């Protein structure tokens, strides 16, 4: 069955370290998204991609970067982790039609000490 | 700035009660509104609404959109403890595939 996976599921790191969160989907979806979820803020969009070599900034992109070298993967990198980036991160994907639902991965809980 | 607001923030009911969750939006070039249910893990899709006044129904859950007044409601009848979750509302715009989420409503159903 097609799916979307994230790794690691839990990560503890220290301030200033570079961290990469992986997202992999097997639906062959063109669109992929990264969100963070914090209490009181719901889900906020960090970066998104509409296809290979395409990346775009979302609402809260500062301190994060993504790259899209193939259809299946959209890794999220925190260049220099900060305590404010402690959060739960969700990856999602959808096919190229804008009105289609997004499918979410299981999430990565990141703690920055 | 695009805005999606959900109310109430949280709600505690007893099994068998009926609940109504609200989602209002102020966005440019609205395309669709989606409802998701989030239990312990990832949000799971419930409904997508694009037309005013047409109710979508799935079992005890139903939802309707009012594009004139810019809101949607999600109704859950005969609630069960398994309905306890965060319910998220999100909108998509004509100009892209992104979702703009509201802050969610946390529903707790007590036995």
Report long-range pairs for A43-50 (Cβ below 8 Å, ≥24 apart). Answer: A43/A90, A43/B43, A43/B88, A43/B90, A43/B99, A43/B101, A44/B101, A45/B98, A45/B99, A45/B100, A46/A76, A46/A89, A47/A74, A47/A76, A48/B97, A48/B98, A49/A74, A50/A96, A50/B97
Interface of B with A (CB under 8 A): 6, 31-32, 34, 36, 41-45, 48, 50, 88, 90, 92, 94, 96-104
Confidence band for B93, pLDDT divided at 50, 70 and 90: confident
Stated length of chain A:
113
Which tokens go with B50?
């694009």
Cis peptide before B35 (omega within 30 of 0): no
**A45 at interface of B, judged by CB pairs closer than 8 A:** yes
CA angle, residues B9, B10, B13, in degrees to nearest 5: 150
The per-residue pLDDT for B1 is 80
Instruction: Give pLDDT tens digits for A72-110.
Output: 999 999 999 999 999 999 999 998 765 668 899 999 999
pLDDT band for position B5 (cuts 50, 70, 90) = very high
| A43:B88 CB<8 A | yes
B37-67 pLDDT tens trace: 999 889 999 999 988 888 999 999 999 999 8
Is the distance from CB of A90 to CB of A105 less than 8 angstroms? yes
Check whether B74 has a pLDDT greater than 70: yes
Report whether pLDDT(B98) > 90. no
- A48/B98 CB distance under 8 A: yes
Per-residue pLDDT, A5: 95
A50 — contact with chain B (CB < 8 Å)?
yes
- Chain A residue whose CA is closest to B4: A42
């Amino acid at each position: 069955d097609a799916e979307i996976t994230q790794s690691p599921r839990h990560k503890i790191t220290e301030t200033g370290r570079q961290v990469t969160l992986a997202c992999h989907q097997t639906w062959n979806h063109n669109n992929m998204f990264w969100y963070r979820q914090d209490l009181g803020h719901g889900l906020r969009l960090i970066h998104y991609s509409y296809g290979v070599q395409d990346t775009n900034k979302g609402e809260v992109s500062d301190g994060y970067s993504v790259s899209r070298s193939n259809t299946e993967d959209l890794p999220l990198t925190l260049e220099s982790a900060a305590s404010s980036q402690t959060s739960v991160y969700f990856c999602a994907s959808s096919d190229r039609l804008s009105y289609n639902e997004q499918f979410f991965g299981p999430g990565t809980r990141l703690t920055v000490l | 700035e695009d805005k999606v607001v959900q109310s109430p923030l949280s709600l505690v009911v007893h099994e068998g009660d009926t609940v109504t969750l609200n989602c209002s939006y102020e966005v440019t070039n609205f395309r669709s509104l989606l409802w998701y249910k989030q239990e312990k893990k990832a949000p799971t899709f419930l409904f997508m609404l694009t037309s005013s006044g047409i109710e979508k129904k799935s079992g005890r859950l139903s939802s309707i959109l009012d594009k004139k007044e810019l809101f949607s409601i999600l109704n859950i009848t005969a609630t069960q403890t398994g309905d306890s979750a965060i319910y998220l509302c999100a909108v998509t715009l004509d100009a892209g595939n992104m979702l703009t989420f509201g802050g969610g409503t946390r529903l707790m159903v007590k036995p």
